[in-house]
Amino acid sequence: MQTLTIIRPDDMHLHLRDGDALKAVAPYTARQMGRAVIMPNLKPPVVSVADALAYKARIMAALPEGSAFEPLMTLYLTDQATPALVREAKAAGIVAFKLYPAGATTNSDSGVTDLFKLIPVLEEMAKQGILFLVHGEVTDPEIDIFDREAAFIERVMKPVLAQVPNLKV
């Protein structure tokens, strides 16, 4: 029999928040995890490279001395995102953009209202190899809450991927 021991796993979806919550959670996470993809839906959200770098600095300051933990930073995708922002993010080491449809979840008031208007941004993400992390649900009140993810896949995700097939989701 073979065994596999994962000594320093990665957390692919981490909410550290900010302030006291960040200071409380980051040391525990760093004790167990090697890296983590940091979710950007703070108040206010992490929408610029400067925001992400400042947030990363706060995370690093909250870690125990000598910690090898690596926060993998993301940006909160908004209607104002541009291909230039994608290129700037890539150059700064940002690994992903996170989609929150407006009004869908915690701190999503700044979220995307129409993903199809951001096709040029998604094309640049595909070109740059930046990940597209998705909170996938529609917010149409006519759709039952238990069907929102399925409706998102059919109405939004499949058509977007047909237009940007190389997008890393």
- Break the chain into its structural domains and give their ranges: 11-163
Query: What whole-number percentage of the chain has pLDDT above 70?
Result: 100
For residues 9, 10, 13, 17, the Cα torsion angle rounded to the nearest 10 degrees is: 100
Residue 44 has pLDDT above 90, yes or no: yes
Report the pLDDT value the prediction gives residue 7, as an integer from 0 to 100.
86
Q: Is 129 left (phi over 0), alpha (psi -120 to 50) or beta?
A: left
Identify the burial level of 144 via C-beta atoms within 10 angstroms of its C-beta, where 0-12 means exposed, 13-18 middle and 19 or more buried.
exposed
The DSSP output letter for 141 is T
Report the pLDDT value the prediction gives residue 9, as an integer from 0 to 100.
95
Residue 19 has pLDDT above 90, yes or no: yes
The three-state (H, E, C) secondary structure of 72-132, written as one string: ECEEECCCCCCHHHHHHHHHCCCCEEEECECCCCCCCCCCECCHHHHHHHHHHHHHHCCEE
Amino acid letter, 8: R
How much is the mean pLDDT over the chain?
Answer: 96
Report the pLDDT value the prediction gives residue 54, as an integer from 0 to 100.
98
What is the rounded distance in angstroms from the CA atom of residue 115 to the CA atom of residue 81?
A: 11
Is the pTM higher than 0.85? yes
Residue 6 has pLDDT above 90, yes or no: no
CATH number of the domain located at residue range(s) 11-163 in this protein: 3.20.20.140
Indicate the SS3 state at residue 135: coil
Exposure string of 56-72, with b = 16+ CB inside 10 Å and e = fewer, is: beebeebbeeeeebebb
- Residues 99-112 have a mean pLDDT of 91
